């Protein structure tokens, strides 16, 4: 007990230093730093012209420094927009010149020639207007409102092109905001990153191992250990605090990474060793993600050491996360190859068919083409073939990083999953809705890639892509998917949102040899199986009736079988015949009887 207390103290100390260290810094931007982070000399000139205050002042926190950067980009963009864009006064003149009488035919050449200005700015304005308003040329309009609406829509593209080409668009600002904040940081963490790496992650890892390893001396087997009485695991104040912290972490990681520059600086030495590049927020995320799976994986190995299946499954997710999701992609970058996670599959890997990704792989030579072919093969052949023989568990419980984090870090919260019929109905609509959204978004991306058109079925393909990335890729899978562990259980994302889980589950439900068989004659209705089911399946309901469990949501984690004191549940891979059946105990044998109403166990 003293070792565990000492370990807990070490973990808390390391975690406290980690969180406090984010504030141990000040920020001072220099012209050299500004030039180093900008790829074009003209961008440096444009920014420096408005950066007098920012380059002469030292900021004591990231909030004031980032606010200064925002003002710098806004001021620069406003100036460039006035120089290269089309003003509202010019819009009014165009509308007025074209509306002497109706109906009228829009004359683009006349509008282009009416633009004011001189030199390179005028040439640019004329060109960009032709590009974005060319579709209006020769079009007939019956009234002023229709003309004004179409011309205003065209000008939105003009303004975006001005920011992208001459100024700084939203993506460039986000990227530069992080790079400049990290470069301008100064303080003890920036000066001694390795020391703080040991004081934070080192102490946390040491403390976690000191706390977990003594548990191996306890007798093997599942013990509920007051999981519904502890505030951490019963939606109490400690669980809510943990969930709030995780949600805040993901929000900052996805949307405001410039405010965690000290955390990223700490792992710079590791990133440079693996990939040869300084760390980004995604390297930090991958590092923390991997450590969480490894440390909590040790906890899983101790807790479920009585089950060979759980030991193998836990070792598997630890291996695939460490090797395939973290180390191999970083080493590929060091070898001047594309960053690629070989175990990630569309539609979970929702940007696989993005134009930038296809171009990156296709231009990387033989290995890039292999990566592209590998990804397509997994989607078309790998998923149905492996699910047919092993069920969706081969991926969701043995390979997937999301599933790996849920099974390790999220294991203390698995009993919080909602088992109600209402939750199951919501689950079906949500997860299949996300899958449909992913398919539509991908069709739009591919349509734009092959045709150059940004409209599909009257929808903007760019808007579809950005909406999916924000709502599903960031908010749902990250902020909600992990942050809600202490509130809704550990498989919120896998159960309600993962489009790949929906695809795998659809195949498992109708074309798979996998099922969980039950021996109803031995069930004592203890409820352990339902309590520990992370996917919200009322396993006891099936066990009491001796019915096979054939559910698209089941990830085959096998924990229900591992916690059963009577050996009622068994994970099996057999012929498809008799999947929808009822196990009836006859002596020492179990005989499968076909059920006529399969909908009962839908």
Q: Same domain for 489 and 517?
A: no
> Which pLDDT score is estimated for 350?
93
Residue 127 included in any domain: yes
Q: Same domain for 550 and 581?
A: yes
> Which pLDDT score is estimated for 585?
35
Q: For 265, what's the count of Cα atoms within 13 Å in the CB-facing half-sphere?
A: 29
Q: Same domain for 472 and 519?
A: no
First to last CA, the chain: 47
Q: How many domains does the chain have?
A: 3
Which range marks the domain in which residue 486 is found? 417-500
Residue 412 included in any domain: no
Residue 317 included in any domain: no
From 500, 532, 558, the end of a domain falls on 500
Q: Same domain for 521 and 466?
A: no
Token pair 């909602």 in the structure block, residue: 418
Q: State the Cα–Cα distance between residues 184 and 178, nearest whole angstrom.
A: 10
> Which pLDDT score is estimated for 593?
36
Residue 200 included in any domain: no
Q: Same domain for 522 and 571?
A: yes
Residue 578 included in any domain: yes
Q: Same domain for 474 and 535?
A: no
Residue 566 included in any domain: yes
Structure token digits, residue 384: 């149905």
Q: Same domain for 554 and 490?
A: no
Q: Which residues of the chain, if any, have pLDDT below 50? A: 583-602
SS3 285: helix
**pLDDT single digits (tens) 510-535:** 889 999 999 878 899 999 999 999 99
Structure token digits, residue 28: 């001072």
pTM of the model: 0.88
Q: Same domain for 443 and 518?
A: no
Residue 353 included in any domain: no
Contact 234, 531 (CB under 8 A): no
Q: Same domain for 495 and 518?
A: no
From 466, 500, 534, the end of a domain falls on 500
> Which pLDDT score is estimated for 575?
73
From 115, 142, 165, the end of a domain falls on 165
CA-based max dimension of the chain: 96
Domain CATH number, residue 525 = 3.30.70.20
Q: Same domain for 428 and 466?
A: yes
Phi first, then psi, for residue 411 (nearest 5°) are -60, -35
> Which pLDDT score is estimated for 39?
82
Q: Is 433 exposed, middle or buried (0-12, 13-18, 19+ CB in 10 A)?
A: middle
Residue 468 included in any domain: yes
Q: Same domain for 492 and 534?
A: no
Q: Same domain for 431 and 495?
A: yes
């Amino acid at each position: 007990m003293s070792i565990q207390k000492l370990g807990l103290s070490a973990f808390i100390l390391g975690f406290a230093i980690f969180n406090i260290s984010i504030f141990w810094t000040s920020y001072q931007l220099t012209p050299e730093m500004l030039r180093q982070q900008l790829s074009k000399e003209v961008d440096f000139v444009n920014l420096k012209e408005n950066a007098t205050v920012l380059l002469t002042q030292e900021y004591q926190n990231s909030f004031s420094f980032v606010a200064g950067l925002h003002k710098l980009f806004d001021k620069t963009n406003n100036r460039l927009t006035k120089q290269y864009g089309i003003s509202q006064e010019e819009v009014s003149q165009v509308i007025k010149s074209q509306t002497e009488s109706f109906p009228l035919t829009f004359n683009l050449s006349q509008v282009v020639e009416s633009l004011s200005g001189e030199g390179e700015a005028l040439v640019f304005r004329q060109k960009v207007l032709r590009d974005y308003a060319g579709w209006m040329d020769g079009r007939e309009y019956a009234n002023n409102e229709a003309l004004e609406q179409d011309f205003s829509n065209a000008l939105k593209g003009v303004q975006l092109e001005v920011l992208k080409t001459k100024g700084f668009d939203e993506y460039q600002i986000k990227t530069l905001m992080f790079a400049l904040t990290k470069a301008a940081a100064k303080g003890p963490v920036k000066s001694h990153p390795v020391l703080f790496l040991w004081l934070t992650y080192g102490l946390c890892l040491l403390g976690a191992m000191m706390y977990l390893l003594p548990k191996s001396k306890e007798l093997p087997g599942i013990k509920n250990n007051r999981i519904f009485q502890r505030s951490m695991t019963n939606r109490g104040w400690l669980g809510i605090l943990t969930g709030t912290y995780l949600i805040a972490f993901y929000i900052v990681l996805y949307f405001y990474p410039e405010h965690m520059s000290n955390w990223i600086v700490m792992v710079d030495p590791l990133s440079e060793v693996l990939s040869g590049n300084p760390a980004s927020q995604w390297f930090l995320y991958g590092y923390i993600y991997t450590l969480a799976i490894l440390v909590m994986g040790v906890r899983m190995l101790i807790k479920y050491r009585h089950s060979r299946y759980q030991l193998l499954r836990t070792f598997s997710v630890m291996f695939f996360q460490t090797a395939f999701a973290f180390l191999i992609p970083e080493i590929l970058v060091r070898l001047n190859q594309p960053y690629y996670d070989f175990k990630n599959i569309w539609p979970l890997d929702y940007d696989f068919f993005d134009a930038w990704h296809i171009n990156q792989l296709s231009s990387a030579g033989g290995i890039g083409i292999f990566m592209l072919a590998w990804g397509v093969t997994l989607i078309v052949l790998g998923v149905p073939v492996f699910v047919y023989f092993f069920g969706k568990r081969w991926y969701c419980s043995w390979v997937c990083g999301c599933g790996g984090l849920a099974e390790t870090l999220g294991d203390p919260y698995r009993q919080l999953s909602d088992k109600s019929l209402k939750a199951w109905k919501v689950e079906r609509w949500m997860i299949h809705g996300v899958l449909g959204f992913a398919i539509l978004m991908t069709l739009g991306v591919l349509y734009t890639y092959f045709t150059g058109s940004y409209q599909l079925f009257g929808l903007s393909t760019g808007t579809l892509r950005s909406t999916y990335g924000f709502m599903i890729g960031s908010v749902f899978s990250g902020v909600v998917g992990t942050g809600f562990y202490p509130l809704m259980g550990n498989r919120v994302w896998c159960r309600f949102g993962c489009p790949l889980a929906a695809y795998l589950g659809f195949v498992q439900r109708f074309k798979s040899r996998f099922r969980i068989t039950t021996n109803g004659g031995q069930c004592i209705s203890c409820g352990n199986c339902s309590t520990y089911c992370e996917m919200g399946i009322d396993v006891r309901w099936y066990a009491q009736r001796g019915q096979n469990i054939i559910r698209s949501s089941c990830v085959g984690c096998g924990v229900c079988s591992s916690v059963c004191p009577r050996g009622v549940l068994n994970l099996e891979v057999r012929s498809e015949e008799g999947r929808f059946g009822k196990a009836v105990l006859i002596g020492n044998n179990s005989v499968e009887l076909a059920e006529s109403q399969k909908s009962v166990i839908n």
